[in-house]
Amino acid sequence: MYDQNAACLTIDLNAIAANYRFLQQRAGRAVCAAAVKADGYGLGALHVAPALYRAGCRDFFVATLDEGLALREAVEDAGSIYILNGLAPGNVELMLRGRLTPVLNGPRDVEIWRGWNWATVRGGPPPAVLQLDTGMARLGFARQDWARLLASDFLECFPLSLVISHLGCADEPGAVMNARQLEAFRARRAEIGQRVSPDVRFSLAASSGTFLGDDYHFDLVRPGAALYGVNPTPLAPNPLAPVLRLQGKILQVHDVDAGTLVGYGATHKCAHPTRIATIGCGYADGLFRALSSQGAVHVGDHRAPIVGRVSMDLLSIDVGAVPSDLAQPGMTVDIIGPHQDVDMLARSAGTIGYELLTGLGPRFQRIYQGSAITAGAEARS
């Protein structure tokens, strides 16, 4: 049983699988992994990851230990589940128990990994991952810390499965920083080439980086947002399939006169007689307050602008130009759908598709369709 007034978020798992296969093709000889952190970018990692596994994905990236443990239960046969945010002193045992692979991002992570009592572990330490900072000043070994690591015996004593870095401007193909980071990553790879196993893989590209060309692919690419339909090439048409549809319910419709004030703060004044429909979702659901009097939704094929302030549970739209039989209480409007994808709505809010996706709230009635659904039936959660 669910609230008939609740907004509905439909997620197409077949589209996610198709996007994965497209990205694998784009990656050429490189392995295509999948980032399913932040609960599958807000779409439900425990639904998304099995669909990706069925599409051929075996390597997954998450941010935190808790995400990794939950993912291992959902996709028990996954080849590798990498924890991007590194280690904490009490996490090593849980990592080992969950067959999770830590990404070592700096000296502290290395010391925690090195200091574990490996004598109690049959076979010794499993392969870990090193992340290099090649220009973002975010996670990863900066140049000075990298030099100290090279001067130690860590590479000889502790096996690696993967070495990664992350591009800061991959969605800007002409950015000078891309070439600089590529050059730095190649240089670091050469520095350890004779000190690590030839089986160690290297990875630089995520979603947008996969579209920068073969030079950026190395052995593995790890797209995230692109899997979920966010455009990885903002200066060109989106090559990925749309994944989600977000529909809100009309709760009430008012016929209003010219001069009527709408919403908190009376920020919108109706210029002429019109009809105002109230939709049952708001910023508590991830529809940012920045959408106030910005952008629109669609009622059928008709654009209906958002007017006044978005509130916690509600937003208002002007349906004066919409046929009245399409805008009645109980009917649905498309917030994200055939006429407006997630990137378009995000631009209206002054943000990016990533933030909008990961902010989608738990109150939506979620319907999963596609490859992870038994016998083709819909799954609701």
Phi then psi for residue 151, to 5 deg, are: -80, -10
Spatial CA neighbour of 366 closest among 253, 286, 269: 286
Q: How many Cβ atoms are within 10 Å of 346's Cβ, its own excluded?
A: 23
Q: In this structure, what DSSP letter does residue 376 have?
A: G
- One of 37, 82, 283, 354 is an active-site residue; which one? 37
Of 2, 20, 249, 264, which residue is the catalytic one? 264
Q: How far apart are CA 370 and CA 50, in angstroms?
A: 11
Contact present, 247 and 332 (Cβ < 8 Å): yes
DSSP one-letter string for 279-329: ES--GGGT--GGGTTSSEEEETTEEEEEES---SS-EEEE-TTS-GGGS-T
Q: Which of 6, 7, 10, 78 is nearest to 229 (CA)?
A: 10
Closest CA to 125 of 74, 87, 75, 84: 87
Check if 2 is active-site: no
Contact between residue 66 and residue 74 where contact means Cβ atoms under 8 Å apart: no
DSSP 197: -
Our answer to whether residue 368 is catalytic in this structure is no
Residue located via tokens 């290297």: 202
Q: Which residues have C-beta within 8 Å of that of residue 375, sequence separation ≥ 6? A: none
**For helices 13-26 and 45-54, angle between their N-to-C axes, nearest 10 degrees:** 50
For residue 192, give the H/E element and its range: helix 176-192
| Residues with active-site annotation | 37, 264
